[in-house]
Amino acid sequence: MLFDVLPGLAQTVPWRPLARLPTAVEPCDAIRDWLGRSGVFMKRDDLASPLYGGNKVRRYEFVLADAAARGSKRIVTVGGLASTQAMATALFGHALGFDVCMVLFDQPMTDFARDALLGFAASGAEIVHGGGYLMTALRTMKAMRRVPGSYLILPGAANALANLGYVDAMLELAGQVERGEAPRPDAIVLPTGSSGTLAALALGAAWLGWNTEIIGVRITSTLACNRFTIDRIVRNTDRFLERHDARWKAMRGRVNYSIYGGALGRGYGYPTPEALEGAERVRDLTGASGEVTYSGKALAALHELARKPAYRDKTLLLWNTLSTPRPALVPGAEARLPPSLRKLVTSTS
């Protein structure tokens, strides 16, 4: 769809289909009583791929196509111990014939993190325990040097190329609104960390001329997620689009986003009572288990926002970026983990 309205992109930007689109828009009837109101909808990007849904598959249609166009045979990615990006890289990377190495930095060891590590072990990817942020950076550089020509995907895959996936997603939503499949939302709520999805949706809404507020529920520290970092992503993506098709700039309106910081708790990956309850509501909505890092905190924020006077009469849309289905756990997979990660897994089992 983005290629249709900005054909200059189609001539210069690599892309290959991975997602099953469009994803549906549904009313959040299953949690209406919990929210205390109607008029709340959900965009089902959890179902964006039968292999692994969530907000990475739209991005990887561009990113992995770029890696292939550059002749890379190996992907190095960086994420937390429970990183859905790392899992998406392993699954989609292997599906397209890439070798995958993931360098993982520490985060709280929840049941979700433990299962993620076991999933990584079963995926066939090379796993490097980065530890703290500094050592993770050093070990990432070492992993890149070890195989020349490797393609690096940083945490969140939030660069301008990847963000095209969610500019396009906003155009997809506009088509659904135009066809009467959903009302135009006054506000869109989603979890945000590296903030590429937030920035891209805000740019897409601006291009459409919508005054929709894109609300990012911050799931990491203010150092990593703030107006400065998000504005930089917006600018970089904006310039990328204009550079490839001048019609973009001529038609773009005002970017409208905000950051909701009330769901974070102690930090990235740390559970809160509200996030635990939110994760349960994810199951009510989708039938799939939620988690406390992203989806649980997004639901906790939605619950709070839906009751605020400023949003009480507004149409809200939850952009569901839950990564499903979770890969099946393989007995004995922990033996494939580095010793330091194997110890973490066995100590929490």
Domain identity same for 97 and 144 = yes
pLDDT reported for residue 250:
67
**Domain annotation covers residue 79:** yes
**Domain annotation covers residue 327:** no
User: CATH number for the domain including 114?
Assistant: 3.40.50.1100
Distance CA 214, CA 120 (A): 32
pLDDT reported for residue 7:
92
- List 72, 83, 123, 194, catalytic entry: 83
Domain identity same for 145 and 169 = no
Domain identity same for 133 and 100 = yes
pLDDT reported for residue 252:
74
Q: How far is CA 226 from CA 211, 261, 341, in A?
A: 21, 10, 31
Domain identity same for 126 and 248 = no
Domain identity same for 211 and 295 = yes
Predicted confidence (pLDDT) per residue in 197-240, tens digit: 999 999 999 999 999 999 999 999 999 999 999 999 999 999 99
Cβ neighbours of residue 131 closer than 8 Å, sequence gap 6 or more: 105, 106, 139, 340
Domain identity same for 201 and 289 = yes
Intervals of the chain under pLDDT 50: none
CB 300 within 8 A of CB 275: yes
Question: Catalytic residue at 38?
Answer: no
Average pLDDT, the chain: 95
Domain identity same for 175 and 115 = no
Q: How far is CA 336 from CA 122, 128, 343, in A?
A: 8, 11, 12
Predicted confidence (pLDDT) per residue in 70-113, tens digit: 999 999 999 999 999 999 999 999 999 999 999 999 999 988 89
Domain identity same for 51 and 127 = no
Domain identity same for 153 and 73 = yes
Residue 99 belongs to domain spanning: 57-157+332-347
Domain count, the chain: 2
Domain identity same for 197 and 91 = no
Instruction: Identify how many contiguous H helices and E strands the chain contains and give both numbers.
Output: 14, 10
CB 153 within 8 A of CB 78: yes
**Domain annotation covers residue 326:** no
